[in-house]
Copies of this chain bind each other. A is one copy, B any other.
């Protein structure tokens, strides 16, 4: 990998998401060598992926080049690599570009879509965990509309204009809202010869309310907002199959749709190599103690979505969101430095600042510790917090400009099919795979 061996201990961080960046920042310019690995050369601001998928933001404005973040930092190395294994005895990781020795290993690989073992669902639905995946959704939505124009088979047209989003968490809610706004303001103008009433947006939630982790008031209000925007919200309904044509549920309602977006679950992106007892079954998150140390491994840490730190308040670990990831990363940097200096580590205590979700223009829900509110003000708070959290001045400026433009003009201008997405429906899938 061509990384010099120095007298400084080497901290290897896998993943440049919120958690990984927070540790790396905390270790800047200290008596350590830091190696950051990521399979992309940029940090992705995941909370805004749904706006890329629906033509509201350009992909490049929610990505930040990782190398730039660490320009001029001594003893810092970035490598574009995929990590495939961990050899904890040899203190070595295996990657797509060779092996690397570590003194401390920080696993911050985040999460990946959970299809709960269904190969069909994995094959035919769309994911939205990365920028390329969001661009695929953007292309597919537009390609479906172009195709719907051409067919004279009404059932086929209905299928092409039927969108099913599975999962009523923040991702599903935000995406459904954004699609509903496209239906309202954009698509009827772009496709005047299509009957926009044929377009359906179905949001399917397994639980009995949307936004499970938020307050009952937020759930209700989000549902209310979505219904007003014309989204069909289905609760207490679970999807168990999709063959590229029909979404099958455990209720009496099935859906014929060309586009199904799977936002029904995530799991930790654990890496091969550690003993199976270190990993929580199914959730695939590493069991860590209050210092983010992976069980049985003194020099291996896991933070963010891939870590499961159980506590009285969080018996299943912290929520898989940006805030715990950032806080764990910040503390871990301090703890690694403390250990190096022979000082005791501090245990992690999550400072829950609250959560929020946006449904559309002037419509958001915010739960703070003691204050819960919904509507226009919540929407401005949501925008401010997200703008502020984006990395980089340019990104902030471009996103702000787009939001102002979209707000004033009721528009979403990046409705571009830059790379067509070849649909993996049951007729063409085999061809495409070969």
Contacts and interface: CB of A to CB of B under 8 A. Distances in A.
Interface of A: 1-2, 40-42, 58-61, 63-65, 67-68, 71-72, 77, 79-80, 97-98, 131-132, 135, 142-143, 146, 149-152, 189-191, 193, 392-395, 397-398, 401-402, 405, 411, 413-419
Contacts of A143: 80
10 contacts: A2-B149, A41-B142, A42-B417, A58-B59, A60-B60, A65-B190, A79-B149, A132-B418, A393-B405, A398-B398
B394 A413 contact: yes
For the complex of A and B, list the 6 residue pairs with the smallest distance between their C-beta atoms, beginning with the closest. Answer: A58-B60, A67-B190, A71-B189, A60-B414, A80-B146, A42-B416
A65 B320 CA distance: 36
A419 B416 contact: no
Contacts of A98: 150
Contacts of A414: 60
Given A42-B416, A59-B418, 7 more contacts: A41-B416, A41-B417, A58-B58, A58-B398, A67-B189, A80-B417, A135-B418
A416 B415 CA distance: 20
A418 B6 CA distance: 33
A397 B193 CA distance: 31
A82 B390 CA distance: 39
Nearest to A52: B60
A10 B323 CA distance: 58
A67 B418 contact: no
A152 B63 contact: no
A71 B190 contact: yes
A61 B394 CA distance: 14
A387 to B, nearest CB: 15
A419 B150 contact: no
A303 B278 CA distance: 67
Contacts of A2: 149-152, 193
B65 A415 contact: yes
A135 to B, nearest CB: 8
A72 B146 contact: no
Contacts of A41: 142, 146, 415-417
A304 B61 CA distance: 34
Given A59-B60, A397-B401, A419-B419, A77 B392 contact: no
Contacts of A79: 146, 149-150
A398 B394 CA distance: 10
Contacts of A393: 405
Q: Which of A67, A68, A146, A395 has the most CB of B within 10 A?
A: A67
Contacts of A64: 413
A134 to B, nearest CB: 10
Nearest to A42: B416
Contacts of A67: 189-191, 415
Nearest to A186: B68
A413 B68 contact: yes
A419 to B, nearest CB: 6
Contacts of A58: 58-61, 398
Nearest to A405: B394
Contacts of A77: 193
A246 B151 CA distance: 50
A65 B189 contact: no
A37 to B, nearest CB: 12
A147 to B, nearest CB: 9
Contact of A416 (B63, B72, B191, B418): B63
A231 to B, nearest CB: 24
A405 B61 CA distance: 13
B401 A413 contact: no
B418 A63 contact: yes
Contacts of A146: 41, 79-80
A2 B193 CA distance: 9
Contacts of A418: 42, 59-60, 63, 131-132, 135
A261 to B, nearest CB: 20
Contacts of A97: 150
